[in-house]
Each structure stands twice: as structure tokens, then as C-alpha cells.
Chains A and B, each alone.
Chain A
Amino acid sequence: MSGTQFIFLVTAGVTLAAAVMTVSARKMMHAALWLVLALTGVAVLFALLRSSFFAVVQVLVYIGAIAILIIFSVMLTRRVVQEQRPRVNRLWWVAALLALMLFTGLVATLASWNGLYPTGQAVAGHPEDIGALGLALVDPAGFVIPFEVASLLLLAALVGAVFIALERKGGMQ
């Protein structure tokens, strides 16, 4: 077993354990902090895949912004912070069965799906070449439409959140 494999196994184990803790932690704030650890593990996995740009993006966007956003929204919710209700109810086995069926269905569908294997266009050049990625983002033959649509998506997210948040604030006062 090489050193890279060892690091991968440790990282994968920590990431999976943190993900399990995220959904099973009793306090929402602790779940948010476990989520940060899981996202850090994913960043390490990106680095192991020699995709430095995405490792940095993972840290900057997911840990630096989205996790903070989740923590703020946990702090915004009243009373839910200390909620200690029982985590299972009478119908837990129905939910488990449905989740298992959905999981097998998804695996069966994805196993026969061609999209898992890169058939379309890929960004040319070395994977660490960020300039090639930048050119592909604005190239009319590349990804310029997704690039501009991403900007519109961000606009819609901001407008929607400002609307909802200010509406709520007005209702409280």
C-alpha cells in the first residue's frame, strides 16, 4: 500500500464518519460543525485527485461560505438549536425501506447510464492548467452559456434570499 493510498483511506474514513455524525448529531449546531469536517475531507480528496483548483474551491466556497451560511441559519432558527425530541418514530422502518428502494433504484439506473463516462467535450490540456479552464469558460464553443447562466443563478439566489429575509424581518417587528 503506497502512501497516497493510506492517506486516501484515512481521509475517506474520516469523511464518511463525519457525514454519519452530521445526520445523527443531536444538536443542529454540532451537525453543522461535523459537516465542515466532512467537506474538509472532500477537499483533501480533490487534492489527492491532483485537482488543486477544486480543492481550493471546496475550501473557499463550501467551508468558507456555505458552511458559515448553514451555521448562521441554525443560529437564526428559534428553539430548534436545543431541540431534544426523539429521533425515531413508529414508522422508521417504512422510511428505511423506502430509502433502500430509492438507493437500489438509483444505483441500477446510474450503472447503465452513459453520462458517468466522459463522452462529451472535456477541457483540453493538463488538469492543473487553470488557464485552459478559464479559456473554456468564455469560449463560445466551450462553456460560455453555463458561465453566464451561473451568473443569472447567483442573481436569482440573492434576490430570492433578500426578499424572503426582509419579508420575515418585517413580519417580526
Chain B
Amino acid sequence: MSLAAPVASRVERAWAVLAEVLDPEVPALSVCDLGIVRDVVEHGDGLEVVLTPTYSGCPATEVIERSVLDAIDAAGLGPARARLQRAPAWTSDWISEAGRRKLREYGIAPPSGDAPHAPAQGVPMRFVRRGPPAAVACPRCGSAHTERLSAFGSTACKSLHRCLDCREPFEHFKPI
């Protein structure tokens, strides 16, 4: 007699668990949607989860590490350890398509998918007669008639905007 379906490997099951672990500051997204889980590796003494922080000073980094390990333990897949990997540096381009959709539904305008060419990241820098930043579409009414209030928002990864049509303020996940 054979099993009906192949049993998922420990690593595959770990990925499925991680897809449900939410980012503490943007709880609309899982750590996988955000693109910060770079790898899950099985070693003789347990699983290793490779994480790349979004910002150098992101205060959520330690919380994320803890919740990732707790979730793997709770699913009976432990022991596990986390390893912080800085290079290559995280970019908002790693946010998944599903993640971008969830951000929009949550009321945060998703980043452009082309961070290296975003106005703030373009090289060389231009201060002189730099054009207005590309309009960010309002996540509520979809209007592109919006303005930026500040490049820095409630967390390091977001900027503040206002829709000039529906008049709602909103946040934008910055391209970086």
C-alpha cells in the first residue's frame, strides 16, 4: 500500500509556516511576501533560516527573528536557528506580487518594482531642478493626482502622501 500524496519535506513545510508569519510593523504582509526570508536550509542539527533585514535600523528585526523561530517550533519543525545575511542588501523589489496587492488592500501604496531607478536612488543624484517625484497612485481611489508630504513616515520603510482627489492621507512603501 502506498501513500496517496508525497509527504512535504521539512524545508517545504517550514516555508509554508513562514508564509503565515506576519511582519510586526506591516501586519498585512508575511515575512515571505516582504522578501526577507532568503533561504531555509536543513542541517544535521536543525533548520537554518536566512533573513535579510530591510533597513539597518529596523527595530522589528529582532522581533521578526523571534517570531520566525517560534512559528517553526510551534509547527514541530524545530530546532531552528536564524542567520542574518546582509549581502546582497534587501531591496523593495523583493516584495512579491501578492505582497504588493496586499499592501494596496491594506491602504499602503506599494513601491515601484524598479528601485535602482526610483528618484531617490537614481545615480547620479540631482538637486538642481529635479522634477517632481513620480506620482504615487492613491491606494483608496486609484487617482494619480497625489502629493508627497514627507519622505519619512511612521516607520523607516514608508513615506507620507495625500490624495488630492479623495483627500485621504496614505502611506507609500518606499522604493529602496
Q: Do A and B come from one complex?
A: no
Seen from chain A, the residues whose Cβ lies within 8 Å of a Cβ on chain B are none
